[in-house]
Amino acid sequence: MIISIGNNIRYLRTQHGLSQEDLAEKLGYKSYTTITKWESGVSEPTLKKASEIASFFNLSVNDLCDTDLTNIGTSPTQSSHGAIVNVLGRVAAGIPIEAIENVIDTEEITKDLARTGKFFGLRIRGDSMEPDIHNGDTVIVRQQDDAENDEIVIALVNGNDGVCKRLKKYESSIALVSLNANYEPMYFSQKEIEDKPVRILGKVVELRRKF
């Protein structure tokens, strides 16, 4: 039996509720034309791109290329009852999370967690949150513009890339605190919060570490 990669891609896409435009964006394409060509059999993805597609849908390249997924009944990701979130290499001021294109990985979260809001993953750079969060770890973040005292958040400060810090709230100011004692806390008055600005992007809800 001849396995159609295009049919598998179409099946996975529809099972995850994605349009061709959605999948094209997730894979870094500006147009859905390439997805259309794959699904219609006009062309096939390169091995590198096939690996990326397989990773996005949380299955192996062999499953994508050599298995008729349409006869299995459910996609591999559905069997775990999870939802896929994009892991970003960075977040920056002025760019909505949904519009950021530097997706470097994906992670799966439970459907129960997914129902509580919108999520993204962020790859941590640096050692400011050690010993709890290491350089290269991935944090799962629920998008929200505020958080409770002592919660770990992703924040934007003065237009710089997002930082992962513990939020401390005071009567008329806040502090973004590193867990690593070698880093001084960053204090901001209410005026500085508005002028710089300082903006909370979300609350860290899970930590993922690969060995």
- Digit-coded pLDDT (tens) for 154-192: 998 876 778 999 999 999 999 999 999 999 999 999 999
Same domain, 170 and 200: yes
Q: What's the CA gap between 102 and 88, in Å, rounded? A: 6
Q: What's the CA gap between 34 and 24, in Å, rounded? A: 8
pTM value? Answer: 0.61
Q: What's the CA gap between 53 and 36, in Å, rounded? A: 15
Give the active site residue among 128, 178, 189, 196: 128
pLDDT in tens, 42-101: 899 998 899 899 888 888 888 888 887 776 543 333 334 467 888 888 776 555 565 555
Which pLDDT does position 79 carry in this prediction?
Answer: 34
- Mean pLDDT lowest for which of 97-106, 140-149, 162-171? 97-106
- Mean pLDDT lowest for which of 23-32, 104-113, 121-130, 178-187? 104-113
Residue 119 contacts residue 109 (beta carbons within 8 Å) = yes
Same domain, 111 and 160: yes
Which pLDDT does position 78 carry in this prediction?
Answer: 37
CATH of the domain at 88: 2.10.109.10
Give the active site residue among 4, 26, 75, 165: 165
191 is catalytic: no
* Full residue range of the structural domain in which residue 12 is found: 5-79
Backbone φ and ψ of 187, nearest 5°: -100, 140
pLDDT, mean over the chain? 84
Same domain, 122 and 65: no
Answer with the one of 79, 96, 129 that is the final residue of a domain: 79
Same domain, 146 and 69: no
- Please give the tally of structural domains in the chain: 2
Percentage of residues in the chain having pLDDT higher than 90: 40
Answer with the one of 79, 113, 144 that is the final residue of a domain: 79
60 is catalytic: no
Answer with the one of 79, 97, 118 that is the final residue of a domain: 79
Q: Is the pLDDT of residue 149 over 70?
A: yes
Q: Is the pLDDT of residue 134 over 50?
A: yes
